[in-house]
Copies of this chain bind each other. A is one copy, B any other.
Amino acid sequence: MPIHEFDLIRWIRRHAGTGKGVLVGIGDDCAVLDPGEGKLLAKSDAVVAGVDFTPDARPRLVGRKAANVNFSDIASMGGRPKFLLATLCLPPHLPRGWAQDVVRGIVDGCRGAGAVLIGGDLSATSGPAVIAVTALGVADNPVLRSGARPGDAIGVTGPCGGSILGRHLTFQPRIPQGLKLAAIATSMIDISDGLTADLDHILDESRVGARIESRRIPIHRDARRLSKKSRRTALDHALTDGEDFELLFTTPEKLFPRWATRIGTITRRRGLTLDGKAIEPRGYEHILG
């Protein structure tokens, strides 16, 4: 690592590109930025070898995931991604080109989100690779988890479940959808822990409850494929798998957008019900199983 560090930084500097709002990019002590109008959003999230990806995962997809999990959080506030910083902690004896491919994937993610790689850090480690990312964005009116009100409709931007079959690496963060929802949503979150677990975060922060209906839950075909092997229902996968990176949101009933899928309603009474029966957001399989 020490021998290649400065070469790799030079290589990254060439591949990082540039963009509006980047006054000084990679190469000085700090990046200098003009984020433009709106409130500043900041999010850090890391992916770790052996935890968030397997050693045989394609490094370009690993880098892309590291960027996109952060952009998904910016999308879930109704924000616009602008800048990304990436810290790579790399073990010795990585396959040739592995670090470059991770950076290529990070840049893929940035391009897809309209953001720019502006800085980061390279470090050696004796353990598994860690890719720690910070994304910055802007939003005029950030949508928090805490604004859901009784009577609000609950919606999701796409089908869920079975992301482990590949989508957890290749998903597209729902940035355009988040921007559209920013004008109408009372609360929003991206589905990373699982549909019911993330809905529970909204319920907790908003101090409300919810009822959802199983026939309305959009189930991804990956959830159906996985259910054939897992001995769990496709619905169970859709409700609990996580890493779908769809947006889960609430809006006033009359403003609910046609293009999203309505799955339920916010209630004054705390707790979560599925088809009228109380369920636990976590350990969901235990109850369904």
Q: Which residues of A contact B (CB under 8 A)?
A: 23-24, 27-35, 39-46, 48, 50-52, 73-74, 76-77, 79, 83, 85-87, 89, 91, 118-121, 123-128, 130, 132, 134, 136-137, 139, 142, 144-146, 188-190, 205
Among candidates B42, B73, B130, residue contacting A132 with C-beta atoms closer than 8 Å: B130
Looking across the interface, which residue of chain B has its beta carbon closest to that of A75?
Answer: B29
Quick check: B124 and A127 within 8 Å, CB to CB?
Answer: no
- Copies assembled: 2
A30 proximity list for chain B (CB < 8 A) = 41-43, 73-74, 76-77, 79, 137, 142
A46 proximity list for chain B (CB < 8 A) = 87, 89, 121, 123, 132
Quick check: B44 and A34 within 8 Å, CB to CB?
Answer: no
Quick check: B28 and A145 within 8 Å, CB to CB?
Answer: yes
User: Looking at chain A's contact residues, is the secondary structure mostly helix, strand, loop, or mixed?
Assistant: strand
A48 proximity list for chain B (CB < 8 A) = 89, 123-125
Q: Would A28 and B121 be within 8 Å (CB), given that A42-B85, A83-B42, A127-B128 are in contact?
A: no
Among candidates B32, B73, B136, residue contacting A77 with C-beta atoms closer than 8 Å: B32
Quick check: B132 and A121 within 8 Å, CB to CB?
Answer: yes
Other A-B contacts than A28-B205, A30-B41, 9 sampled, CB-CB below 8 A, are: A29-B190, A32-B41, A32-B77, A44-B85, A44-B86, A46-B132, A51-B123, A89-B89, A126-B128
